[in-house]
Structure 1
């Protein structure tokens, strides 16, 4: 199996990306195609490894660039070049920690959507009290129709089943209340659609404050809501951590106490570590594309490649296509 990796994407590229890719090639028994500046990539390769190939790409798309314009004008950048290789079948999947907007725009231009899908979604795992939960969409679509949410639910359910091994994932709809009549017209109409779908285990509405209880495996929302949820959670996490550090520094007794419970802090930190979850998945594109966090280290890159490998091995793309065909007659609006 050959997986394409954007060597220039992310805050710590190319070093951490290359190291993560090399580890993946060794431990997962796969071939890696590193796309990026050849001279810079070679600085992090100790020896010629037959499982590692470099495809030179001199340009890089930054996070501050308009995604559509950048993809169209920087054709020799690592993201569009990697996506073309994926489209041509040179690799089975692509992994990148680069610009989310450029990956989505490039994915739509180069790979396209598979049949029946109106809008792809970005799905990512969150830690909860019980087990990781999948949230989608987290930013690909700021405006959605009820049909889009129904398709997200089906794709998310299949993805969670194949990646997490849960036969019938519990699917929820992110809303301002648990009652069926709560919410705006989008979620109320989507609720009616979701409860009629036969191939998902729809369990009702989920309030944001209850998300981390872990009672749902897959939670669906539009990209605007999902992105606000994601960034609010990230911001709150950083705020609480900073507040905790500040209070510990104020008093020597607190500092001594913190040393005693350091293993507890480390255990919580490990559960919250985004690098364990392998990044976000673009569901609905006609190709396998994994987006790692922008600050990914080699561990996160390794896990992103591992998720991509599992996606290929389980033939999840085929499963998604078949499921969307199956429900096409059930969701017309």
Structure 2
């Protein structure tokens, strides 16, 4: 028999329920102990952090919390869920047959108003699909987008969409530009993030119909976003150089974005593996590697995908942060903190406001 989810009032104290973060304790590759350790770090390092609810098998989660010394932390609560989503599960199958999965229950807490944010390492397809179906999209936006943080020379950029919507229309990419700009402001403190539209050439008319139409629409937004124009793949990892200033937000559809993200992750792993193999090839190189150990360690940490916390699913009614499946406690701690900051800044209201403004600007420009 399906387990019934309590009402919001039964789940958490009424005073705290709005700003609560529901953390999926069962979805990661490293298990619930690592999630609990991340919650401990977040609660200890960020005094203003929103309250946290750990969602999963309560007996297991409480055991790890007791071992970590935070079982009775005043900002920590528990919500029991008896099932776990695997990496092989399909979204529609999960919604029908795993209704008591920790990921689904965490999303439902947001739907009920018992929490405002979800953090999960679970299967991307299931997390994205369930979030869109259960939470629905923001007013004015009929698609959601994943935003990923990627290192570049001298900083980072936001890639959006990283895989949520593979078949986009021009209006979806316009919304991606708006959502990515707001996330870049929140994450990096950039007042006017420079937005680039990823394509195969910077000349006017270069690219397919989707790119051409999106480019024309973005030009009509005026100072709503800081649109830098079309950008090519070799520009996004530079700090500008001969091509001008660095790009802070790279806009594309989910098909292109997911290929970019996975290619970068694979390339980062390839270079670190090759570097290690070559440095260990003979005694002289080993000595050089020992002398440069600190520099290589910093490089490895900088290109490690999981160190950047999580990828927010922007455009849904609620805050949803997708952490890497293999995220460790440090990455999960950062994802929990990001979720808390997104709640405090009310990023969704800001996005809704700018989507409405963008629509008006585009319509007025078309009538002129």
Normalised by the length of structure 2, the TM-score is 0.87
Structure 2 CA distance, aligned partners of 1:31 and 1:140?
A: 28
Name the residue aligned to 1:34: 54
Q: Tell me which of 268, 281, 294 is aligned to 1:250.
A: 281
The secondary structure found in structure 2 opposite 1:255 is helix
Change (3 A) 1:64 1:331: farther
The alpha-carbon deviation at position 250 of structure 1 amounts to 2.1
Residues 1:211 and 2:236 aligned together: yes
1:14 pairs with 2:32: yes
Equivalent position of 2:347 in the other structure = 316
| Deviation of the 1:275 alpha carbon | 4.1
Q: Distance in 1 between matches of 2:182 and 2:280?
A: 47
Counterpart-to-counterpart distance in 2, 1:304 and 1:246: 32
Map of 2:65 onto structure 1: 45
Q: Distance in 2 between matches of 1:24 and 1:245?
A: 33
C-alpha displacement of 1:28: 2.0
In 2, the alpha carbon distance for the partners of 1:248 and 1:25 equals 40
- Superposition deviation, residue 260 in structure 1: 0.9
| SS of corresponding position for 1:178 | coil
Q: Is it true that 1:89 corresponds to 2:113 in the alignment?
A: yes
CA–CA distance in 2 between the matches of 1:155 and 1:234?
A: 23
Residue correspondences, number: 333
Cα deviation for residue 294 of structure 1 reads 0.6
Q: Pick one of 17, 20, 23 that aligns with 1:5.
A: 23
Whole-angstrom distance in 1 between the partners of 2:255 and 2:124: 14
Q: Distance in 2 between matches of 1:53 and 1:306?
A: 17
The Cα shift of 1:82 comes to 0.7
C-alpha separation between the residues in 1 aligned to 2:286 and 2:316?
Answer: 50
CA–CA distance in structure 1, aligned partners of residues 250 and 52 of structure 2:
33
Mapped pair 1:72 → 2:115: no
Task: Name 2:163's counterpart in structure 1.
Answer: 139
- SS of the equivalent of 1:243 reads helix
Alignment of 1:205-284 (within 5 A): 205-214=230-239, 215-284=246-315
Name structure 2 gaps, 5 residues minimum. 1-18, 240-245
Tell me how large the CA RMSD over aligned residues is.
Answer: 1.5
TM-score (norm 1): 0.96
Deviates more, 1:116-125 or 1:238-247: 238-247
- Supply the distance in 2 between the matched residues of 1:195 and 1:277 (Cα, whole angstroms): 31
Residue ranges of structure 1 left out of the alignment (5+ in a row): none
Paired with 2:41 and 2:288, the residues of 1 have a C-alpha distance of 38
- Separation (CA, whole Å) in 1 of partners of 2:154 and 2:212: 28
- Compare 121-130 and 18-27 and name the one that shifted more: 18-27
Contact 1:163 1:311 in 2 (8 A): no
Structure 1 residue 330: Cα displacement: 3.7
